[in-house]
Amino acid sequence: MTLAWASNPEPTAPLQLLPSPSASGVSSADAGTKFSKNVQAASQATQELQNGFSKLQRLCTYGNDIPASSSSQVMDVLAPLTAKAQSDLANVQAGLQSTAKTFSQSSRITKNSYCRYVPPFGPLAFVCEGFRYDSAKLHLASRDMQIITADAHQRLYLYEQFVKLEEQGCTRAGFTMKLWETETTFLWPVVLQAPVVFKTTLTYAPSH
């Protein structure tokens, strides 16, 4: 049993990492939109990984004739890699939380906080257009932040579970490491890039 996105050495549509907006002439809005698509693609890959694990786990219940791999070798190689990833993920989460908090405090969300009590279609609605714009912007960014970190946590957990299946002989030797190589090539860079992207897209520039 293999996962399509992991078994293909050259995926037909790999995630496109974003260049720096300031260096490439890409606007922060365009960068945010493209990055959001990367987030959704990574989320789909996470779901496929979960589905693949569940299917493999069910199939393994009925027995197999694949020799069990060396558990110590698989775990010894993967454990320090996932530990480093967990540490990186904690730093990413801290950076995202800081960016969201800074934007909320410096934007019209805080400066025009009274607007939360103003009806969106009332006679004074136009006064709070900026508040609603910044609130929607933060809401969408926070949604993607949550997806990125939740999916990353889930994938790290799943790799540990794949190791256990490999130890039982449910997969060929090296299967888990092949999944991990796909992760570090196409998915994990999206996680590491998130703080920079959101710091750019959530920069508040007041109009004059």
43 occurs within a structural domain: no
**31-60: b (≥16 Cβ within 10 Å) or e:** bbeebbebbebbbebbeebbebbeebeeeb
Would you say residue 189 lies in a domain? yes
In a domain, 47, yes or no: no
**pLDDT tens, residue order, the chain (208 aa):** 345 444 443 333 344 444 444 444 545 556 667 888 999 999 999 999 999 999 999 988 765 555 555 556 888 899 999 999 999 999 999 999 999 999 999 999 999 999 999 988 888 889 999 999 999 999 999 999 999 999 999 999 999 999 999 988 898 889 999 999 999 999 999 999 999 999 999 986 555 3
Instruction: Give residue for tokens 């399509």.
Output: 4
pTM assigned to the model:
0.79
Domain count, the chain: 1
Q: 171: exposed, middle or buried (C-beta count within 10 Å: 0-12, 13-18, 19+)? A: buried
List the domain range (segments joined by +) for residue 77. 71-202
* Residue 1 placed within a domain: no
145 neighbors 198 (Cβ within 8 angstroms): yes
Find the DSSP H helices in the chain: 4-7, 21-24, 28-61, 71-106, 108-111, 129-167, 175-182, 188-201
Task: Establish if 190 belongs to a structural domain.
Answer: yes
Domain annotation covers residue 136:
yes
Q: Is residue 10 part of a domain?
A: no
